[in-house]
A and B are shown apart, each in its own frame.
Chain A
Amino acid sequence: MRILSLAGRRLAASVPTVLLILIGIFLLLQFAPGDTVDAMMAQMGGGDAATARELRRFYGLDLSVPAQLGNYLWRLVRFDLGFSAIYGKPVVTVITERLPATLLLMISALSFAFFFGLVLGVVAARRVNKWPDTLISTLGLIFYATPSFWFGLMAIVVFSIYLQWFPPGGLEDITTVNTGLWRVLDIARHLVLPTLTLGFIYLAIYLRIMRASMLEVQNLDFVRTARAKGLDETRVVVRHVLRNALLPMVTLIGLQAGTMLGGSVVVESVFSLPGLGRLAYESVIQRDLNTLLGIVFVSALVVIAVNFVTDLLYARLDPRITSGV
């Protein structure tokens, strides 16, 4: 229960943050050249000034900026993100259509990076300054320095064009209709390369943090105690060192949820996945500011949700957090 109230407090504290983001972005977009009506007129193939005035009044764009902001926030409270003139649908619909692909990509990339980062970090820390450690740390540095979109392109060249193991893009095969398990397998096959592309950078970060944190924990007194009472090495590493060394990794997930969403913009563009990131890119190109603002709002919510889950997880791993402070 204390965990929930702690996490709940943190959740409540994020409300002003979201508000600040929305107001900031809303005001920022006021500087953008052209508004929704301009975009719509362009789509219609032009029109006279009277129609434009009429449309502006209809969408409430003739009001003063503070009034528009007030209107916008009031609509947000009712979870109405406005209407996308480009897609001809409410922004909520456009976003919910695109959100699953992004979440799927984020979750699979995160699991990949977390799992392999953990394993490689532990291996490196166990053989510190010997060749496995040097090799793993060097690979980590190289992964970290690789631009993800370039890695994705090269993966397409090798695995899709030459070896033809994986499809070069898309979320599923559109030439055949798959259902049930086959559909799941098909989507999984399409997600392998994007997951690796997005995951490798984070793998590098996780492995570095895990290595450092293992090195730090394995010299603490309680580990010596565990060894002294005769526990075998595996028990010591898994039950005592690993559990404590995991804490910084969990913190990192929360900190990196945002960067990961940002990274998926690029990865989704490389692999033409129908996700939120690609939608953000398209709405920048097409000046669909309503959708862009909606994406900003939803991404902030996703980041906050991830942090909420991390808080819960953290409290579960480290009981000291809920007791005391």
Chain B
Amino acid sequence: MDAIRRYLRSPPAVIGLVLLVIVLAMAASAGWLFPHDPLSLAGRPLQWPMANPRFWFGTDNSGRDIAAQIFYGARISLLIGLVATFVSIVIGIVIGALAGYYGGRTDTVLMRLTEAFQTLPNFLLLLVLVAVFGSNITTVTIAIGVVSWPAPARLTRAEFLSLRNREFVQAARTLGMRDLRLIFGEILPNALPPVIVYASVVMAVAILLESALAFLRLSDPNVASWGNLIGLGRDVLRSEWYVSAIPGIAILVTVLAVSLVGQGLNDAFNPRLKGR
């Protein structure tokens, strides 16, 4: 309760929450407001926003409704963001937990692996993964998750290092609990909160990574993704710049909302660290 009150007292956190609710509402109402396929032909191409009352945001180079693509794009961005974040957090937790709990050689090997992933530019690795496994929406989402796990892994490991010799863990060990139950039943629930808060950072980066990939036309071309639309708009940037401008604002708002909410949660749950 205290945490909720602290959250609601911080203006940026509330703004973030409002923006996030708006994006969620866009995703939820897409099918209802725009019953037709957002990627189907809707009207004459390259109509400016509001020039035709049927198209609030105008039409793109191939005559598709930009507003419909923005609304459906909210679904795609949130979906990719959530699933990729889930993948990266799960990998990160497993690797971080094993490294932090066992220490010694396990820790060395797993941390070397983490370091290798961090040394490699993540966008480059993403390009390699897409080149190898193709670029439909499933592989792209999993690939984004696979390149973003090192930071959550390090965070989980640090939490485990500080928790693994606490009294409650020793007590549980004396009771004869097995390692796996100790790790996932006893230590992990205590190590989880900072990792969950960090997930908002991962999600913001995941949305940005997908949009960059889509902009380069390396993501799935058969879904209404904001990045795809920006990439398309690039061809007509000189005169019809709104085609690129509008989806960019949608990405900005979504990423901003996710970061603000994450920051707000962090401050609400760790009041002592506020302002960092």
Contacts and interface: CB of A to CB of B under 8 A. Distances in A.
Main secondary structure of the interface of B (DSSP, over half): helix
Interface stretch (A82-90, A149-157, A180-188, A235-243): A149-157
B145 to A, nearest CB: 16
A244 B264 CA distance: 28
Contact of A16 (B112, B124, B238): B112
Nearest to B231: A149
A314 to B, nearest CB: 17
B62 to A, nearest CB: 19
Contacts of B122: 258-259, 262
Interface residues of B, number: 47
A168 to B, nearest CB: 9
Contacts of A215: 275-276
Contacts of A304: 119
B115 A269 contact: no
Contacts of B128: 25, 28-29, 284, 292, 296
B259 A144 contact: yes
A203 to B, nearest CB: 16
Contact of A284 (B116, B130, B252): B130
Interface in B99-124: 112-113, 115-116, 118-124
Interface string A262-296: 11011001000000000011001001010010011
Nearest to B205: A259
Interface residues of A, number: 54
B158 to A, nearest CB: 15
A141 interface: yes
Interface of A: 14, 16-18, 20-21, 24-25, 28-29, 31-32, 128, 138, 141-142, 144-151, 153-154, 156-157, 161, 212, 215-216, 255, 258-263, 265-266, 269, 280-281, 284, 287, 289, 292, 295-296, 299-300, 303-304
28 contacts: A17-B112, A20-B112, A20-B113, A25-B120, A25-B128, A29-B128, A32-B132, A141-B260, A144-B255, A145-B252, A147-B211, A147-B252, A150-B211, A151-B248, A153-B233, A153-B241, A153-B244, A154-B245, A215-B276, A258-B121, A262-B124, A269-B216, A280-B124, A281-B127, A281-B218, A284-B218, A296-B120, A303-B120
Interface of B: 12, 112-113, 115-116, 118-133, 204, 208, 211-212, 215-216, 218, 227, 230, 233-234, 237-238, 241, 244-245, 248, 251-253, 255-256, 259-260, 275-276
